[in-house]
C-alpha cells in the first residue's frame, strides 16, 4: 500500500536541503513560495489551501496559534539544531507522520 503524497512547506528556519529527503511528497520552501519574512499567523493563512503541512523547528508556533482554525497541519522538528545533519535522523518519522497527520493537528517529532 502506498502512502498519500502531501504538499509540504518548509519554514524559513528549516534547512532547505531537507526537501530532497522528503520525497515522494511535494516540498517547497517559504523562500521559494515568496513568503520570506512572513510571520506565523499570516504564514499559516497564506499556506492553507496551497499546502497540507508546514514543517518547522519553531516550538512556539503551536502555543501562539490556534491550529484548529487553520486548514493545515504542522510538524515541529525538535533536534539539537536546525542544521541538516541534526534533522536527517527525523526524516523517517516525518514521512510517516506526513502520511497520516490530520488538518489542524500539531505533531512534535524528536
pLDDT in tens, 18-50: 999 998 999 999 999 999 999 878 999 999 989
In a domain, 2, yes or no: no
Q: Is residue 95 part of a domain?
A: yes
In a domain? residue 20: yes
**Whole-angstrom distance, CA of residue 86 vs CA of residue 37:** 24
72 assigned to some structural domain: yes
Answer yes or no: is 85 within a domain: yes
Residue 84 counted as domain residue: yes
If you average pLDDT over every residue of the chain, what do you get?
90
For residue 100, tell me if it sits in a domain. Answer: yes
Q: Domains in the chain: how many in total? A: 1
- For the cut 70, the answer to whether the pLDDT of residue 8 exceeds it is yes
User: Which domain, by its residues, includes 91?
Assistant: 7-104
Per-residue pLDDT, 32: 96
Amino acid at each position: 500500500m502506498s502512502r498519500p503524497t502531501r504538499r509540504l512547506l518548509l519554514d524559513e528556519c528549516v534547512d532547505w536541503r531537507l526537501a530532497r529527503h522528503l520525497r515522494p511528497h511535494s516540498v517547497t520552501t517559504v523562500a521559494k513560495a515568496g513568503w520570506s519574512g512572513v510571520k506565523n499567523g499570516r504564514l499559516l493563512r497564506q499556506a492553507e489551501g496551497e499546502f497540507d503541512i508546514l514543517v518547522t523547528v519553531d516550538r512556539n508556533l503551536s502555543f501562539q496559534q490556534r491550529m484548529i482554525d487553520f486548514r493545515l497541519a504542522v510538524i515541529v522538528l525538535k533536534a539539537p539544531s536546525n542544521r541538516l545533519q541534526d534533522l536527517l535522523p527525523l526524516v523517517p518519522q516525518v514521512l510517516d507522520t506526513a502520511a497520516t497527520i490530520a488538518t489542524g493537528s500539531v505533531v512534535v517529532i524528536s
